[in-house]
C-alpha cells in the first residue's frame, strides 16, 4: 500500500480498518454471550477471529504491507513472529505434554 | 501523483514534511525494535498463562468462570478499539498539517478513553480481590496478574506519554522532534490494542467459552 496523500482517503482507510475490527470483535463476544456452539467450536471461532483481527490492525492501523514495506522492516517483524511462535508455542506444547504424562 | 512510498513502518509523515520525513526513519525503526522485544515479553506471559490455565494450577481457588466480568471486558475492548481510531485521527491531523487544535483534540479524546479503560480494569481487579482472587491464591492467578496488569501498566504509561506530548506540543509546537515522538506513541498505542486482542480472546473469551 502506498500512503494516501488525500485526507478523505486516509480517513476512510482508518474507518474501514475500524469497521472490520469492530465486526471481528463483536462476533466472538456475541458467540460467547449468546452462542449455542460447543466449547471447542467456540474456541476455534475466537482464535480465528482474533488472528484475523491482529492482521487487520497491522494492515490498517500500523500500516504494514507486504508489498511496499522496506525489506529490513518486514524482516524485523517476521523474525520476531517466528521467535515468538517457537518460544510460546514450544512452551505450551512441552508443558501440555508434561501435564498429560503426569496425569496418566 | 496521488501517493508517497513508505519510508518506515507505521503512519508516514510523507514527503510534504520535507527532511522531517527522512529523519524519522532511523528513530521509527529503533522504536519498532523495542516494540518487537515487548511483543516477545507479552508472548511469553501469554504462554505462561495458557500453561497455568488448568485445574491443577487453580489450586482449588477461583477459576476464570468465577471472576470474569464479560460486560466489563467488552466495554474495555470497545474503549481501546475506539481509542485506536481516535489516535489514528490525531496522526492524520499531523500528517496533513491541519490545525494543532485538531491534533490536540483527538489526543485528549484518546487520553480520556485510555483512562476509562484503566478505570474499568481497576474496578475488575478490586472485585477480584474482594472475592479472594489475589495473585498469591494460586499459580493460575499469579499468571493472570502477571499478564493482564502488565498490559494495564503499558496503557498507563501510554496515557502519561500522551499527557507529556500534550505539554510538549504546547511548549515546542510541532517540529521534527515532537512529530517523531507522536509517531512512536501512535505505534505504541496501536501495538497495545493488538496485545489486548490476545488478552480478550485468550483470557476473557477463552475463560468463559
Quickly list DSSP for B34-95. Answer: HHHHHHHHHHHHHHHHHHH-SHHHHTTS--HHHH--HHHHHHHHHHHHHHHHHHHHHHHHHH
Judging contacts by C-beta atoms under 8 Å, the chain A residues touching residue B194 are: 54, 57-58, 62
DSSP 3-state of B3: strand
Q: Let me know: does B163 contact B93? Beta carbons within 8 Å.
A: no
Nearest chain A residue (CA) to B183: A62
Do B51 and A95 count as a contact with CB atoms less than 8 A apart? yes
Q: Measure the CA–CA gap between A18 and A72, rounded to whole angstroms.
A: 28
DSSP 3-state of A15: helix
Nearest to B54 by CA among A47, A92, A87, A88: A92
Q: Which contiguous run of DSSP H or E holds residue B176?
A: helix B176-198
pLDDT(B3) > 60 = no
How confident is the model over A36-71, as pLDDT tens digits?
A: 899 999 999 999 999 999 999 999 999 988 777 788
Q: Let me know: does B184 contact B25? Beta carbons within 8 Å.
A: no
Do A96 and B191 count as a contact with CB atoms less than 8 A apart? no
Distances (CA, A) of A17 to A7, A63, B56, B59, B155: 16, 10, 41, 42, 21
Q: Let me know: does B8 contact B29? Beta carbons within 8 Å.
A: yes
Q: Tally Cβ neighbours within 10 Å of residue B85.
A: 23
Nearest to A69 by CA among B6, B27, B35, B2: B6
Q: Let me know: does B49 contact B203? Beta carbons within 8 Å.
A: yes
Mean per-residue pLDDT of chain B: 94
Q: How confident is the model at residue B10 (pLDDT cuts 50, 70, 90)?
A: confident
Taking the CA of residue A81 and the nearest CA in chain B, the distance in Å comes to 8
- pLDDT for residue B128: 97
Judging contacts by C-beta atoms under 8 Å, the chain A residues touching residue B68 are: none
Reading the block at residue B137, the C-alpha cell is: 491464591
pLDDT(A18) > 80 = yes
pLDDT mean over B70-75: 97
Torsion-angle region of B132 (φ positive above 0: left; ψ -120 to 50: alpha; else: beta): left
Give the phi and the psi of residue B75 in degrees, each rounded to 5.
-60, -40
Q: Find the length of chain B.
A: 209
How confident is the model over B143-201, as pLDDT tens digits?
A: 999 999 999 999 999 999 999 999 999 999 999 999 999 999 999 999 999 999 999 99
Amino acid at each position: 500500500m502506498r500512503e494516501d496523500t488525500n485526507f478523505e482517503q486516509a480517513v476512510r482507510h482508518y474507518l474501514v480498518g475500524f469497521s472490520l475490527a469492530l465486526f471481528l470483535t463483536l462476533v466472538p463476544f456475541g458467540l460467547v454471550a449468546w452462542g449455542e456452539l460447543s466449547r471447542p467450536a467456540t474456541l476455534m471461532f475466537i482464535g480465528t477471529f482474533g488472528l484475523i483481527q491482529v492482521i487487520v490492525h497491522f494492515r490498517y492501523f500500523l500500516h504494514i504491507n507486504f508489498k511496499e514495506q522496506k525489506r529490513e522492516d518486514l524482516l524485523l517483524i517476521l523474525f520476531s513472529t517466528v521467535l515468538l511462535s517457537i518460544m510460546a508455542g514450544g512452551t505450551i506444547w512441552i508443558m501440555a505434554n508434561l501435564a498429560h504424562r503426569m496425569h496418566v | 501523483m496521488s501517493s508517497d512510498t513508505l519510508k518506515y513502518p507505521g503512519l508516514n509523515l510523507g514527503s510534504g514534511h520535507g527532511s522531517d520525513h527522512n529523519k524519522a526513519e532511523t528513530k521509527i525503526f529503533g522504536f519498532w525494535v523495542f516494540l518487537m522485544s515487548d511483543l516477545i515479553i507479552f508472548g511469553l506471559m501469554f504462554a505462561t498463562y495458557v500453561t497455568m490455565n488448568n485445574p491443577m494450577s487453580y489450586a482449588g481457588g477461583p477459576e476464570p468462570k468465577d471472576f470474569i466480568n464479560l460486560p466489563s471486558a467488552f466495554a474495555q475492548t470497545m474503549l481501546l478499539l475506539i481509542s485506536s481510531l481516535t489516535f489514528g485521527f490525531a496522526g492524520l491531523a499531523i500528517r496533513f498539517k491541519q490545525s494543532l487544535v485538531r491534533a490536540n483534540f483527538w489526543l485528549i479524546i484518546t487520553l480520556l478513553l485510555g483512562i476509562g479503560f484503566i478505570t474499568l480494569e481497576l474496578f475488575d481487579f478490586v472485585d477480584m480481590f474482594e472475592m479472594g482472587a489475589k495473585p498469591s491464591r494460586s499459580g493460575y492467578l499469579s499468571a493472570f496478574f502477571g499478564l493482564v496488569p502488565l498490559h494495564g501498566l503499558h496503557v498507563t504509561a501510554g496515557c502519561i506519554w500522551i499527557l507529556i506530548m500534550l505539554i510538549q506540543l504546547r511548549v515546542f509546537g510541532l517540529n521534527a522532534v515532537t512529530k517523531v515522538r507522536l509517531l512512536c506513541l501512535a505505534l505504541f498505542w496501536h501495538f497495545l490494542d493488538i496485545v489486548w486482542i490476545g488478552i480478550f480472546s485468550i483470557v476473557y473469551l477463552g475463560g468463559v467459552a
